[in-house]
Structure 1
Amino acid sequence: MAYFSVRAMNNPLRCLLACAALCASAEVKAHVLSAAERSAPPVLRWTFEPWVVALLIVSLALYVAGYRRLRARSKRGREIRARQLGAFVLGWLMLVAALDSPLDALSAALFSAHMVQHELMMIVAAPLLVLSRPLAVWLWAFPPAARHRIAAAVRTPALRGLWRTLCAPAVAWMLHAAALWAWHMPRLFEAALASSAIHTLQHASFLLSALLFWWVVFGEGTRRDQSGYAMLSLFTTMVHTGALGALLTLAPGLWYPAYIEPTSVLGFDPLQDQQLGGLVMWVPGGLAYLIAALATGARWLMHRAPATLMPNALPAHRDSNS
């Protein structure tokens, strides 16, 4: 493990090989301990999906490697980069909590736990990861030659055009809204509960659409001075996610019958569990979008204030000299 933490972060290829070895050994260990795990309460187990753990480890290793190279390259901007590193680590930990902690196993038995898992990914981990600016930092983890090849590849007209399209405020908003509403339709949600592949697709669409949505708010929106669009996106998302949460909370019957048996085994009422899950989406979720919208509005007003006041100050200055 020490070899991985010290040497692998300096070489992306070594990082990938070490990560693969780690996942393989952990998978063997999981098979060895399967008998003991079966005797434990199923909802309290830590889950382990090798490919999920591999992606998490590689992403962290590449970010730390890129951060170290950027820090060694220049002393300017170290405070900003340190804050970005903190945002990445915190967002990364939120993904671990959502995807690999006992919360993941509990989400198979309780709808409310499933909603907490989704909210952790979409309104906590995703904005933190966007604020950490991972794409540029990951790029610096590679040697100069590989870095230039990757940069040249992503600058092709096709990829740049696709990226501009996806980062259009209306497109990012619609993709995120579509993922939320479509996957909470009873047929699709129950299909995700019954199939691990569909469940993976559900989580991937939630996380990727959320990353794109928050990138427009905190990334592209900031650079292109589109704070007005960002505020509109945040407020309207707060409204439609709140509406979905209200529908779940106030529904007279169960939307997802697959939860009846596992929820009852744990001693919870399935309808009350659904209502609690709806409240999780309705109240904490809506509050997160509201806070982000207010922060975006405050940033927008502060950036516009000097430009608004300066024309009024210049005539007074000229009058005093005349």
Structure 2
Amino acid sequence: MRALFFALLFLPTTALAHDGHAAPVNDIWALVPLSVGGAIYALGVLRIWRQGGVGRGISRIRVALFAAGYLLAAGLLLSRLSDLTRLLLTAHMIQHFALMLIAAPLMVLGRPGLVALWAMPQSWREPLARAGDARPWRWLSHPLGAWITYFVVLWGWHLPPLHQAALLSDGVHAAQHFSFLGAAMLFWHAVLERPRAEGRVGAFFAVFATAVHSCALAALLTTSQVLWYPAYRGGAWGLDRMQDQQLGGLIMWVPCCAIFIGTAVSLMARLLSDTDRRMQRTAR
């Protein structure tokens, strides 16, 4: 576990050099929050396992899932792919797709809220736990609140003025990445942490509605004859700027919507299974 702690804390620093050259400034904006978040999670796991024993309180599988999502997020934000996002919308879409639909749900399955609570000083835990039961958080973590947050963040950052501002400023670019990641983690928390059938109904509609509006945005981007983001320079991978926009839209359209539709089908199957079990118990 100590090895995991130091890996989570220091792994992103390996991305500070690219073939011996200093990293771009935008790497620093990603490095600091990633390092802090990884250190908090690792400290919380250490304290939970020291209290109850390894694998108790938070299972090894959940820790491994969080670590996988965290390392994927670090790789996406600190690798050469991050440099390509200045040139190609396609690279940006690959980055956002993996960050929001792969890394975020993996980290959510690692129960980061619970673990982070244990990382805090003991005198802070009870007030923080009460804050987690407060109405604002309950609304945000409800499927409807999480859906609205995801919608606003996704569509807001794809508006041409905001998206181009992110390409021209390292700080705005970092804010874009971490708002995407935060909104996605909130959304997947609302979807994946709904144990009751009533909660799964809300989760199903949130996933279905997210698939609809995400596919609509992707379709607009793919079929548009107007260049949305002239700040992209293009030229990489043999793509001009319009081809880059169309390919980026397709990446957002096909694999992203496939994940949402697959999740909705899985939720519906679990909901029908719960209904069937209830009917069988009633018949008895």
TM-score normalised per structure 1: 0.76
> Which one of the candidate residues 14, 17, 21 is aligned to 1:37?
21
Alignment match, 1:301: 272
Contact 1:46 1:102 in 2 (8 A): no
CA distance in structure 1 between the aligned counterparts of 2:243 and 2:104, rounded to whole angstroms: 29
Pick from 5, 19, 34: which aligns with 1:56? 34
| CA contact 2:26–2:174 (8 Å) conserved in 1 | no
User: Does structure 1 retain, via aligned residues, the 8 Å contact 2:25–2:170?
Assistant: no
* 2:239 counterpart residue number: 268
* 3-state secondary structure, aligned to 1:155: helix
CA contact (8 A) 1:94 1:125 kept: yes
The structure with higher relative contact order (CA 8 Å, sep 6+) is 2
1:228 & 1:51 partners in 2: Cα distance? Answer: 38
CA RMSD of superposed structures (Å): 3.3
Structure-2 separation of matches of 1:172 and 1:57: 26
Q: Distance in 2 between matches of 1:263 and 1:247?
A: 20
Partner of 1:240: 213
Distance 2:238 2:213 in 1: 32
**1:85/1:9 CA distance change after superposition, 3 Å:** closer
Q: Equivalents in 1 of 2:201, 2:127: separation in Å?
A: 32
Alignment identity in percent? 36
Q: Do the aligned partners of 1:47 and 1:105 also contact (CA within 8 Å) in 2?
A: no
Count of residues in Structure 1 that have an aligned counterpart in Structure 2 = 283
Shift of 1:154: 4.3
> 2:202 maps to what in 1?
229
1:310, distance to aligned residue in structure 2 (A): 1.3
**1:302–1:79 Cα change, 3 Å:** farther
Q: Distance in 2 between matches of 1:185 and 1:116?
A: 18
Instruction: Encode CA deviations 1:227-249: one digit per residue, 9 max, x unaligned.
Output: 01111111111111111111111
Name the aligned partner's letter for residue 87 of structure 1.
Answer: L
Name the residue aligned to 2:122: 147
- The corresponding residue for 1:189 is 163
Match of 1:173 among 144, 147, 158: 147
CA shift at 1:109, angstroms? 0.7
**What's the secondary structure of 1:109's corresponding residue?**
coil
Q: Structure 1 regions of 5+ residues with no counterpart?
A: 39-44, 314-322
Task: Give unpaired runs (5+ residues) of structure 2.
Answer: none
Equivalent residues of 2:69, 2:107 under 8 A apart = yes
> Which of the pair has more CA radius of gyration?
1
* Equivalent residue runs for 1:1-322 within 5 Å: 6=2, 9=5, 37=21, 49-74=27-52, 78=56, 81-142=59-120, 146-156=121-131, 160-219=134-193, 221-222=194-195, 225-259=198-232, 262-264=233-235, 267-313=238-284
The answer to whether the Cα contact below 8 Å between 2:5 and 2:43 also exists between their aligned partners in 1 is yes
Once the two structures are overlaid, the 10-residue window that deviates more, 297-306 or 161-170, is: 297-306
Give the TM-score, by structure 2 length. Answer: 0.86
Aligned residues of 1:9 and 1:61 also touching (Cα < 8 A): yes
